[in-house]
Amino acid sequence: MENKKPAYRRVLIKISGEALAGEKKAGLDFAVINEACLAVKKCMDLGVQVSIVIGGGNFWRGVKDGAGKVERVNADRMGMLATAMNCLAVADVFKQLGVDARIQTAIDIAGAGERFDTRTAIWHLESGRVVLFACGTGCPFFSTDTAAVLRAAETNADAILLAKNIDGVYSADPRTDPNAVRFDRISYDEVLAQHLAVMDSTATSLAMDNNIPVIVFALKDTQNIVRAAMGENIGTIVR
């Protein structure tokens, strides 16, 4: 693999908060985080510029956890804070591995990171730093999937690597439907028409409008991050 050139110069990796929790399903599993950070470091050593958006579902799942007790706007803001917690933890792991990591936040949180700025983010990437984007878009009613596509478009990323708890895009939920079929490739239009659970419809439409390919794969094997960056056929590519 080391003798091959990466398929992408600049990627944005979207990692769900639940994936960082590992088998615990909640909180942080630092063994999982360390392995994921090592895989990102390997991508960077191969010359790939990497930014990351992390969800917050290992701490709070917005309107779902609010369960009608917390107003939607406040529930979403709580989710933004959860993503900042994850970014702070992951940034520290990167630093322990010798990787210069910077956090950019979509809302002002003194001491947690710098305010998101497109030009500064690109400068960090071109300077060999990994950039973690916290707090989603900074607006309620938008998911971290949408934030990932937005930041990818703003920083001119060549692809979005969507690391999930499932190894690709299926025709149905493989956990409940034994006849579900995994796609190797699928178009944005097909994802939207079939209401497939890749990203929410806003994120999918934004990726389609900006012609950004999305590679969906399982984070369980963290080396899939490297394989996706190298252009190997893993998971599902949506384009």
Query: What residues does each domain of the chain span?
Result: 10-238
31-57 in b/e form (b: 16+ CB < 10 A) is ebbbbbbbbbbbbbeeebbbbbbbbbb
pLDDT of residue 30 exceeding 70, the answer is: yes
User: How far is the C-alpha of 79 from the C-alpha of 70, rounded, in Å?
Assistant: 12
pLDDT value at residue 188: 92
The class level of CATH for 10-238 reads alpha beta
Q: Give the per-residue pLDDT at 217.
A: 93
Per residue in 211-239, pLDDT (tens digit) is 999 999 988 899 999 999 999 999 999 99
| Per-residue pLDDT, 3 | 57
Residue 62's pLDDT band (boundaries 50, 70, 90)?
Answer: low
C-alpha to C-alpha distance for 71 and 59, rounded to whole angstroms: 17
Q: Largest alpha-carbon pair distance within the chain?
A: 55
Angle between helices 72-96 and 30-45 (to 10 degrees): 70
